[in-house]
A and B are shown apart, each in its own frame.
Chain A
Amino acid sequence: MTNATLTKAAPTTESLTTASPMKAKAKEIDYKPDVKKSARASSSLGADSNKPVTVKMGVYDLDLYYKDFQALNKINLEFPENQVTALIGPSGCGKSTLLKSLNRMNDLIEGCRIEGEITLDGADARKTIDVNSLRRRVGMVFQQPNPFPMSVYDNIAFGPRTHGIKSRSDLDEVVERSLRDAAIWDELKDRLKKNALGLSGGQQQRLCIARALAVRPEVLLMDEATSALDPISTAKIEELVGELKTRYTVIMVTHNMLQALRVSDKTAFFLLGEMVETGVTDDIFTNPQDSRTADYVAGRFG
Chain B
Amino acid sequence: MNMRLDTVYETGEGLASSDQIDALFAKVSQRHDARRRLVSVVLRGSVYAGAALTAVVLAFLVGYILIKGVPYLTPSLFEWKYNSTNVSLMPALINTVLMALVSLLLAVPFGVGSAIYLVEYAKRGSKFVQLVRTTTETLQGIPSIIYGLFGLLFFVTALGWGLSLFSGACTLAIMILPVVMRTSEEALLAVPDSYREGGFGLGAGRLRTVFRCVLPSAIPGILGGVILGLGRIVGEVAALLFTAGTIAQIPNFGASGLMALFDSARTLAVHMYVLASEGLYINQTYATAVVLLALVVLLNLAATFAAKKMNKGHKDD
Contact = CB atoms under 8 A, between A and B. Distances in A.
A and B bind: yes
Interface of A: 1, 16, 19, 21, 49, 81-82, 133, 160, 162-165, 170, 173-174, 176-177, 180-181, 183, 185-186, 215-216, 243, 246-247
24 contacts: A1-B3, A16-B8, A19-B5, A21-B5, A82-B3, A162-B36, A163-B25, A163-B29, A164-B31, A165-B28, A173-B15, A176-B12, A177-B12, A180-B10, A180-B12, A181-B9, A183-B10, A216-B18, A216-B21, A246-B3, A246-B4, A246-B5, A247-B2, A247-B5
A186 B32 CA distance: 32
B11 interface: yes
Nearest to A178: B21
B127 interface: no
Interface string B120-142: 00000000000000000000000
A185 B2 contact: no
Contacts of B3: 1, 21, 82, 246-247
A21 B3 CA distance: 9
Contact of B5 (A1, A176, A180, A216): A1
B5 to A, nearest CB: 5
Contacts of B10: 180-181, 183, 185-186
B202 interface: no
Interface of B: 1-5, 7-12, 15-16, 18, 21-22, 24-25, 28-29, 31-33, 35-36
Contact of B32 (A49, A164, A180): A164
A81 to B, nearest CB: 7
B31 A177 contact: no
B31 A247 contact: no
A180 B16 CA distance: 12
A247 B16 contact: no
Contact of A173 (B1, B21, B31): B21
A173 B9 contact: no
Contacts of A170: 24
Given A174-B21, A246-B4, 8 more contacts: A19-B7, A162-B36, A180-B12, A183-B9, A183-B10, A215-B25, A216-B21, A246-B8
Contacts of A186: 10
B31 to A, nearest CB: 7
A81 B2 CA distance: 9
A41 B33 CA distance: 32
Contact of A243 (B2, B4, B8, B28): B8
A163 B8 contact: no
Nearest to B31: A164
A215 B32 CA distance: 14
Contacts of A1: 3, 5
A176 B8 contact: no
B12 A165 contact: no
A181 B18 contact: yes
Given A180-B12, A185-B12, A164 B35 contact: yes
B15 A247 contact: no
Interface of B is mostly: helix
Contacts of B28: 163-165
A61 to B, nearest CB: 28
B8 A177 contact: no
A216 B22 contact: yes
A180 B36 CA distance: 29
Nearest to B8: A19
A111 B22 CA distance: 37
Given A82-B2, A243-B8, A247-B2, A176 B15 contact: yes
Contacts of A19: 5, 7-8
10 tightest CB-CB pairs across the interface, nearest first? A164-B32, A164-B28, A180-B10, A19-B8, A173-B16, A246-B5, A216-B25, A243-B8, A181-B9, A216-B22
B29 A164 contact: yes
A235 B22 CA distance: 29
A177 B36 contact: no
B18 A247 contact: yes
A160 B36 CA distance: 13
Contact of A180 (B1, B15, B22, B24): B15
Contacts of B16: 173-174, 177
A180 B3 CA distance: 19
Nearest to B1: A49
Contacts of B24: 165, 170, 174
B21 A243 contact: no
A163 B35 CA distance: 10
A272 to B, nearest CB: 31
A101 B29 CA distance: 24
A163 B16 CA distance: 18
B135 to A, nearest CB: 33
Nearest to B20: A173
Contact of B36 (A21, A164, A165, A173): A164
